[in-house]
Amino acid sequence: MEIIRSVDEMVAISRKIKAEGKTIGFVPTMGFLHQGHISLIKNARKENEIVAVSVFVNPTQFGPNEDLENYPRNEEKDLELCAEAGCDYIFIPKPVDMYREGYNTYVEVFGITEGLCGASRPGHFRGVCTVVFKLFNIIKPTKAYFGQKDAQQLAVIKKMVRELNADIEIIGCPIIREADGLALSSRNTYLTKDEREQALVLSKSLKLAKELIDSGMIEVSEIKEEMLRLISTAKDSEVDYIEFVDNYDLKPLNRIDRSNQVLIALAVKIGKTRLIDNMVV
Ligand code: PAF
């Protein structure tokens, strides 16, 4: 595995790989890798000749009061995990190289970025789309892999690629969970032992929603009420949102209807840590 830190060098390498007619599978990450990321890398490994992973804590997707400075980092472990998972190139650019002095160009997707996480994290998806588009131009992937855990991000990236005619296939990969249901996230590291236990209310409330739907409940407000009741049993929890939306365009739904795939998404603060989870029914 080669470690590349310069944008120009990465551009030259991917240009050469493309000229040789080889496929590139790309996994963009912010590092502090866990088995969720590894599953993306393994999928990329199966489907492409060359696999590239980026590790970049992207400053433009963090709000002023968010955790940019404290975002967990462990480069040594990331390198080890990427090598083990069969990555060929790991790209670790510096912020000053990605955003040179005077940088002022952004990619913004409208219509599906205002709700869900976009409502409480204004500017977040603009930062995500900008960095992902830049990384696509640098790495020139054939296919790029994103986790379903960030369901809104996945839908936004798909829309960006579709509407900007980027010649890249976006592959969504399933959420990876701990044995007790907690969705893997780099931010789980912020949780104390007690909060880790309380955080199970996210996956439990999704499971409950699925059971209620399976038993015939169709009114979203009623299902939400039951989910809220369950989440309130976690003493340090504060619900940011619980939304039932169409899985394609993220338009809010009031009733469960067999004609569309419903994304049930939620964000809950456990103590100071904001966690997200979702399920498609
Ligand atoms: O999902 C993430 O880790 C980030 O949002 C991404 C896609 C790497 C962009 O910085």
Distance between CA atoms of residues 211 and 5, nearest Å:
48
Pocket-testing residue among 128, 135, 176, ligand 1, by greatest number of atoms within 8 A of Cβ: 128
Q: What is the pLDDT of residues 18-30, one digit of tens each?
A: 999 999 999 999 9
Q: Are 138 and 7 in contact (CB under 8 A)?
A: yes
| pLDDT tens track for 244-265 | 999 999 999 999 988 889 999 9
CA-nearest residue, atom 8 of ligand 1: 29
> How far is the centre of ligand 1, averaged over its atoms, from the C-alpha of 228 (Å)?
28
pLDDT, residue 120, reads 94
Longest dimension (CA), the chain: 57
Q: Look at residue 48 in the predicted model and tell me its pLDDT.
A: 98
Q: Provide the Cα torsion 211, 216, 218, 219; round to 10°.
A: -80
- Beta strands (DSSP E) in the chain are 2-4, 24-29, 50-55, 89-91, 143-147, 169-173, 237-246, 262-270, 273-280
Residue 273, C-beta contacts closer than 8 angstroms, at least 6 positions apart: 187, 188, 190, 191, 195, 199
pLDDT digits (tens, 9 = 90+) for 180-208: 999 999 999 999 999 999 999 999 999 99
- Spacing, Cα 255 to ligand 1 middle (Å): 31
**If you take atom 9 of ligand 1, which residue's CA is the nearest one?**
128
As given in the structure block, the two tokens for residue 202 are: 């996210």
Q: Phi then psi for 4, rounded to 5 degrees?
A: -115, 125
CA of 14 to the centre of ligand 1 (A): 20
Would you please indicate which residues are annotated as catalytic (active-site) residues?
37
User: Residue 161 is encoded by which pair of tokens?
Assistant: 């690629």
pLDDT (0 to 100) of residue 259: 82
- Give me ligand 1 centre to Cα 213, in Å: 32
Q: Which of 55, 73, 153, 175 to mutate to test the pocket of ligand 1 (most atoms within 8 A of CB)?
A: 153
User: Average pLDDT for consecutive 10-residue bins of the chain (281 residues)?
Assistant: 98 98 98 98 98 98 95 98 98 98 98 97 98 98 98 98 98 98 97 98 98 97 98 98 96 90 97 98 95
pTM: 0.97
Within 10 A of 87 (CB to CB), how many other CB atoms are there?
25
Which amino acid, 259? S
Atom of ligand 1 nearest to the CA of 61: 10
**How far apart, in whole angstroms, are the C-alpha atoms of residue 242 and residue 239?**
7
Q: pLDDT value at position 204?
A: 98
